[in-house]
């Protein structure tokens, strides 16, 4: 009788859930060989930030829910490790798959490797070279303890090679977030969010902000406010506000100043499909998110990234992303480019072809000597 190999897919935050969907779909033909189980750490526990993604992307209910909740980086990481360790000892999977760069990513990988369980890291090798970002620490440490490293772009391979990671561990596969986007694109296009908000396609922008460097101090939020004051002349801006961002805007008593901007509309967080309908039909996006940089690059939507660095180099070299930080001069230059952007002549990166998950599954099968 052929052995069935058990793999754990560890998810904790919104991008993880999106990336799991195409992997599960690619595994459908191998149910007799691979038993894939979802571990939801509970790092994101708000409905719009977690459960809605399972529903919209057709992901089954998690097999295990660790219920970690919010807390400091140390608290979250420690709680995932404590709760995940018990599960690993009791159930002993053959492979733990972690995604991205959140606290659950590092915690899941570290717990598994200490129990001598192989680890695969999806979105390996990305580097912002900014160690003030907790995500950068998570990425580096996870990569150096993983057995299989699945990369999204050639620069990631080069980063791993420079850090001395063996080439046989590194596999350039593409971007599973783009796989998810391609698969659900017809649903996104037929969604009515833009219509419900009374927006005409290409007449508005979308802004998202959640990084501590942009939203955790009054000084940073006032810089963001100055940016928004300068860009609302380019069209109406829809701001699906992250709970963290709203909390801090209210904490520093500046919500009235944000709401006084006539062309800015602050709305509740959106589910994945609703949000991507807005993004696809927008004229531009302003963000400090990593994932949105990649999605706009594939969709051909101009993106202004309000950060000083990016781990997704391909979105700048081959995509539509402009890195500006909160520098008003750089932002204006980016808008000058946006006004002349010809989408009909744009082509997204070739490696982002919607088949990353299939490549990952083939490599996992090979790891288990099943093909």
Residue 206: give the domain boundaries. 185-345
Same structural domain, 320 and 362: no
Of the candidates 40, 73, 121, 210, the residue annotated as catalytic is: 210
| pLDDT, tens only, 94-122 | 999 999 999 999 999 999 999 999 999 99
Which pLDDT band, with edges at 50, 70 and 90, does 214 fall under?
confident
* Domain match, 146 and 230 both: no
Let me know whether 155 and 203 are in one domain.
Answer: no
In-domain check, residue 238? yes
Alpha helices (H) along the chain: 14-26, 51-57, 73-91, 103-114, 134-145, 154-162, 176-190, 193-196, 212-215, 218-231, 243-251, 255-259, 272-281, 290-299, 314-317, 328-339, 356-367
Residues 194 and 169 in one domain: no
Domain shared by 34 and 170, yes or no: yes
Q: What is the mean pLDDT of residues 344-368?
A: 97
| Helical axes 103-114 vs 73-91, angle rounded to 10° | 40
pTM above 0.85, yes or no: yes
pLDDT in the model for residue 44: 61
Q: Tell me whether strands 303-305 and 321-323 are parallel, antiparallel or unpaired.
A: parallel
Measured distance CA(2)–CA(230) in Å, rounded: 63
pLDDT tens column, 59-98: 888 899 998 887 889 999 999 999 999 999 999 999 999 9
Total domains in the fold of the chain: 2
Q: Is residue 118 part of a domain?
A: yes
Instruction: Please indicate, yes or no, whether residues 93 and 35 belong to a single structural domain of this protein.
Output: yes
The secondary structure of residue 34, as a DSSP letter, is E
CA pair distance 140, 193, nearest whole angstrom: 38
Cβ–Cβ < 8 Å for 355, 174: yes
Q: What is the mean pLDDT of residues 51-66?
A: 80
Say if 179 falls within a structural domain: no
Say whether both 127 and 269 belong to one domain: no
Tens-digit pLDDT profile for residues 235-268: 899 999 988 888 889 999 999 999 999 899 999 9
The secondary structure of 186-235 as a DSSP string is HHHHH--HHHHTT--TTSEEEEE---HHHHSSHHHHHHHHHHHHHHGGGS
DSSP string, 130-180: -TTSHHHHHHHHHHHH-SEEEESSHHHHHHHHHTT--GGGEEE---HHHHH
Residue 150 forms part of a structural domain = yes
Answer yes or no: do 316 and 212 share one domain.
Answer: yes
The answer on pLDDT for 50 being more than 80 is no
CATH number at residue 83: 3.40.50.2000
Task: Clarify whether residues 144 and 265 are in a common domain.
Answer: no
From 101, 103, 84, select the one nearest 37 (Cα to Cα). 84
Q: Does one domain contain both 107 and 189?
A: no
Q: Say if 37 falls within a structural domain.
A: yes
Q: Is 234 a catalytic residue?
A: no
Indicate whether 193 and 316 sit together in one domain: yes
% of the chain with per-residue pLDDT over 70: 96
User: 246 and 203, same structural domain?
Assistant: yes
């Amino acid at each position: 009788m052929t052995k069935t190999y058990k793999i754990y897919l560890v998810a904790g935050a919104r991008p993880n859930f999106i990336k799991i969907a195409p992997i599960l779909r690619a595994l459908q033909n191998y149910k007799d060989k691979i038993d894939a189980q979802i571990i939801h750490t509970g790092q994101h526990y708000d409905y719009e930030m977690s459960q809605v993604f399972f529903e919209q992307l057709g992901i089954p209910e998690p097999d295990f829910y660790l219920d970690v909740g919010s807390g400091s980086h140390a608290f979250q990481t420690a709680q995932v490790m404590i709760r995940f360790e018990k599960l690993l000892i009791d159930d002993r999977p053959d492979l733990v798959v972690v995604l991205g760069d959140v606290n659950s990513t590092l915690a899941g990988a570290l717990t598994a490797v200490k129990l001598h369980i192989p680890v695969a890291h999806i979105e390996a090798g990305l580097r912002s070279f900014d160690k003030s970002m907790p995500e950068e620490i998570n990425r580096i440490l996870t990569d150096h303890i993983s057995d299989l490293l699945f990369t999204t772009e050639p620069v990631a391979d080069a980063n791993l090679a420079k850090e001395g990671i063996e080439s046989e561990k590194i596999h350039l596969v593409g971007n599973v977030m783009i796989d998810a986007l391609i698969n659900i694109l017809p649903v996104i296009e037929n969604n009515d969010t833009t219509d419900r908000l009374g927006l005409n396609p290409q007449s508005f922008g979308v802004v998202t902000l959640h990084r501590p460097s942009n939203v955790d101090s009054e000084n940073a939020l006032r810089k963001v406010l100055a940016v928004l004051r300068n860009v609302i002349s380019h069209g109406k801006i829809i701001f699906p506000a992250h709970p963290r961002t709203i909390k801090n805007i209210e904490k520093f008593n500046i919500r009235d100043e944000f709401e006084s901007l006539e062309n800015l509309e602050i709305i509740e967080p959106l589910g994945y499909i609703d949000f991507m309908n807005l993004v696809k039909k927008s004229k531009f996006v302003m963000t400090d998110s990593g994932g949105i940089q990649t999605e706009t690059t594939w969709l051909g939507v101009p993106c202004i990234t309000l950060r000083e660095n990016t781990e997704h180099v391909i979105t700048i070299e081959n995509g539509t992303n402009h890195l500006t930080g909160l520098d008003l001069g750089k932002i204006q230059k980016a808008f000058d480019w946006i006004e002349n952007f010809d989408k009909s002549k744009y082509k997204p990166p070739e490696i982002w072809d919607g088949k990353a998950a299939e490549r990952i599954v083939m490599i996992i099968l090979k790891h288990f000597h099943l093909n």
